[in-house]
Amino acid sequence: MKKDVEAKQSYTFNSAAHRYYALARGTALVCACLTSLTAQPQAPTESNASGATGYAENCAGCHGDLLTGGEFGPALKGAKFHDKWAARIGMALETFISQAMPPANPGGLAPEVYLNISAFVRESNGLSPPSEASADASAAITPTDESVGFVANEANLDPAYHLAISRRAHRLGALTSVTDQMLRNPAPEDWLHWRRTDDNFGFSPLTQIHKDNVHSLTVAWSLALPLGTNEITPLVHDGVMFLNSSGTVLAIDASTGDTLWKFVRPRTGPRIGPPVTQPHSLAIYEDRLYVPTLDNHVIALDVRSGKPVWDHLIPGFRASHRLVGGPIVAHGKLIQGMAGCSGVGEPGGCFIVGLDAETGEESWRFHTLQQGQENDSWNHAPLNERFGGSVWSSGSYNPIDNLVYIGTGQTYHIAALMRPNPNRRPANAGLYTDTTLALNPDTGQLVWYYQHMARDVWDMDWAFERMILPIEHRGESPNVVATVGKLGIVDAVDAKSGKYVFSYDLGLQTLVTKIDPKTGWKVTDPALEPNPKQSRFICPFVTGVRDWPSTSYDPLDHMLYIPVTDACMDFFWKDGEPLDLAYGLRPRPNSDGKTGGLYAINLATGKQDWSRRYRAPAASAALATAGQIVFAGTRDRYFRATDSVTGEELWRMRLDSVPSAFPISFAADGTQYVAITTGGGNPMDITAQSLTPELEATPHATTLWVLRLPAPTQAKQ
């Protein structure tokens, strides 16, 4: 459903007309002026007690304990305040408070805290919540609005200020439209996709930072971001970085770290979790940035201003559904998958939609679980007993065959697949779980599928990146689609037909005992069949040898780099319960105490070239570059550069928190950078903590780190 987004969103511009400085009692305070503050959909009413607590902790120091005003802020109570906000109710007090307050940390509080405080202030003045119908899209806060609480000082708008604003305006004005050709073949300095390119390599062709000088890598700039569950992937185009942290979208000058514009859209529905993973990534196409949200909208923003163009709520979602993998763009369609689909009373599985990039309207929908009884693979279970098929990662696109490849996860309720069945080896079981789907992006038609793990009753997803690799294996295929599941098994199938090509097992799992060399069928150990009366000891743990931290593929030498976590589990089947799987984390027997690592697999030869093992589990995706470097992070807060040929550690930096995200590399103004965000809160962060009990948890924060070589040692690109 497409809404009048001007009545629901807010955005800011860092320009002379939209930023002002103030002096109060000799202390310089900076307050952001919003160009548009409009009505937000109202969340469920919050209690006065919660709002009073939030106000006391965050607002009373300026506005007084009783809302009657203080030395740094005006009264938020009384006839004057009431009359002003009653007349402008469509502006949404929530939006103003969440954007501009507190002055030292605008937008820095949790969304629930802002909602509680605004409800407390409204109710203290007898004001009703704003309604969408009463929204006034033209209302705006100006620098002289006394509700801000400070007097603008024009003397601070000096030449230095105007020079900075001019530079930012020039950076935005120089942005070029992103064409289909650019998406198919990005400029080396850009990072236009989740994993940079259509084929999901996660590889940078830049060479300014290379294995002989990476030891000099240092911090170029850093930026504190709104709190979230991390797993953030920025995009970079023409020297502008775009990222989304829990509903705050930023455009940043990639050279300096200056914010160019900011768009904030608080979540409108109830919070899910923790741990709930926020959307990993964005998409960029033509002059728009496409943003999936925490409450299952996709929003299109103007890339030069941050102004919303359209807002589409994906209908049909339920309480546990959420957007995690970002969209991919093909033929003017945004292809976006839904994850979750595990809640009690929420059967039927997940789905993938194709949205029109111009309007946001839904063009097609594909359900990731088999819906009918024809050619049934669910032991004839009705649809209300089928769960799962989550889409946790962005797709990849093959323009030659016009196919989008998307991976799906497992089922969350195995009872239907555990029913007695005389044929324990059907062609497939539990479609389309643990499957590569090849869809036509124009129509959503399923062209082919390959199920990597039939009848997965152990929660061993194959839901991660699908790489399109130019590998000829035994003369079978010039292009394959390859992926690595939780078991640490690499599967490759023909990119055009889906025919099985080859597999490679890292050797860290105990569940699969044999892989058919012709079909890829996985034979599992019968002793590890789920049993409601007895646990099963299985390697790996449920988060897998690998989980969401993506692999990286170097096309120059056919090397695949895989961040791993080495742990095992006691597996329980709780037959009869709504979610019937449970797990207990266990170290590998006779372990060396090293629970993480980075493995290098040569896909041209089918052999492992090297591996490095670490005490701490993997925390970030891998990033390979043409400078013969692989970057990756671990849960001990280290971010490392490794020689991609030998596996030798070349450089490492200990960051403020866990680098639990997707690193990227880009260039701006002739300089190559590497970026990574730190912070946690996702399922891997939580479950992996007990593997290294000596590592203390860091305070919850989300920070963007951008690294470069020192200026005197840079070589020209």
Residue-wise pLDDT for 251-289, tens only, equals 999 999 999 999 988 766 655 555 567 899 999 999 999
Distance CA 612, CA 590 (A): 18
The confidence score (pLDDT) of residue 136 equals 36
| Strand ordering across the sheet containing 596-602 | 552-554, 559-565, 596-602, 607-614
- Of 74-83, 98-107, 135-144, 610-619, where does mean pLDDT reach its minimum? 135-144
Burial 239-262 (b: 16+ CB within 10 A, else e): bbbbbbbbbbbbbbbbbbebbbbb
100 three-state secondary structure: helix
The token pair at 18 is 């939209």
Distance CA 381, CA 574 (A): 19
The token pair at 445 is 């038609």
Residue-wise pLDDT for 190-218, tens only, equals 999 999 999 999 999 999 999 999 999 99
Question: Which pairing describes strands 500-505 and 702-708: parallel, antiparallel, or unpaired?
Answer: unpaired
The confidence score (pLDDT) of residue 63 equals 86
The confidence score (pLDDT) of residue 138 equals 31
- Under DSSP, the state recorded for 712 is G
Residue-wise pLDDT for 448-491, tens only, equals 999 999 999 999 999 999 999 998 766 666 899 999 999 999 99
Q: Which residue has the tokens 């009703």?
A: 128
Three-state DSSP string of 125-193? CCCCCCCHHHCCCCCCCCCCCCCCCCCECHHHCCHHHHHHHHHHHHHHHCCCCECHHHHHCCCCCCECC
Q: Which of these, 156, 425, 193, 426, lies nearest to 290 by C-alpha position?
A: 193
The confidence score (pLDDT) of residue 270 equals 57
- Of 56-65, 290-299, 654-663, where does mean pLDDT reach its minimum? 56-65
Nearest-Å Rg of the Cα atoms of the chain is 26
Q: Give the domains, in start order, of the chain with CATH numbers.
A: 17-156 (1.10.760.10), 181-713 (2.140.10.10)
DSSP one-letter string for 455-506? T--S-----S--EEE----TTS-SSEEEEE-TTSEEEEEETTT--EEEEEE-
Residues 6 or more apart whose Cβ sits within 8 Å of residue 258: 14, 164, 167, 168, 252
Which residues is 404 bridged to in the sheet? Answer: 397, 439
Distance CA 279, CA 548 (A): 12
**What value does the mean pLDDT take over residues 7-11?**
41
Q: Which of these, 698, 683, 202, 220, lies nearest to 465 by C-alpha position?
A: 202
The per-type count for the chain, helices as H runs and strands as E runs, is 9, 41
Distance CA 130, CA 40 (A): 8
**What value does the mean pLDDT take over residues 98-111?**
72
Predicted confidence band at 421 (pLDDT cuts at 50, 70, 90)?
low
Predicted confidence band at 115 (pLDDT cuts at 50, 70, 90)?
confident
Other Cβ atoms closer than 10 A to 114: 26
Residue 91 pLDDT > 80, yes or no? Answer: no
**What is the rounded end-to-end Cα distance, in angstroms, of the chain?**
46
The confidence score (pLDDT) of residue 426 equals 57
Phi, psi at 320, each rounded to 5°? -90, -5
The confidence score (pLDDT) of residue 471 equals 83
Q: Which of these, 661, 669, 672, lies nearest to 231 by C-alpha position?
A: 661
Pick the more confident residue, 344 or 127.
127
The token pair at 212 is 């002989």
Distance CA 365, CA 8 (A): 26
Residue-wise pLDDT for 396-414, tens only, equals 999 999 999 999 999 989 9
Angle at 233 between CA 227 and CA 235, to 5 degrees: 120
H helices present in 180-315, as ranges: 180-184
Residues 6 or more apart whose Cβ sits within 8 Å of residue 591: 566
Tell me whether residue 283 is exposed, middle or buried, using C-beta atoms within 10 angstroms of its C-beta: 0 to 12, 13 to 18, 19 or more. Answer: buried
The confidence score (pLDDT) of residue 550 equals 98
pTM reported for the whole predicted model: 0.85
The confidence score (pLDDT) of residue 7 equals 34
Tell me whether residue 576 is exposed, middle or buried, using C-beta atoms within 10 angstroms of its C-beta: 0 to 12, 13 to 18, 19 or more. Answer: exposed
- Asked if residues 392 and 464 have their Cβ atoms less than 8 Å apart, the reply is yes
The confidence score (pLDDT) of residue 658 equals 93
State the amino acid at position 704 in one-letter form: L
Pick the more confident residue, 47 or 77.
77
**What value does the mean pLDDT take over residues 145-153?**
45
DSSP one-letter string for 360-393? --EEEEEESS--SSTT--STT--GGG-------S
The confidence score (pLDDT) of residue 531 equals 94
Residue 659: how many CA atoms within 13 Å on its side-chain side?
28
Q: Which residue has the tokens 């490849």?
A: 405
The confidence score (pLDDT) of residue 122 equals 84
Distance CA 494, CA 482 (A): 9
The token pair at 553 is 């593929």
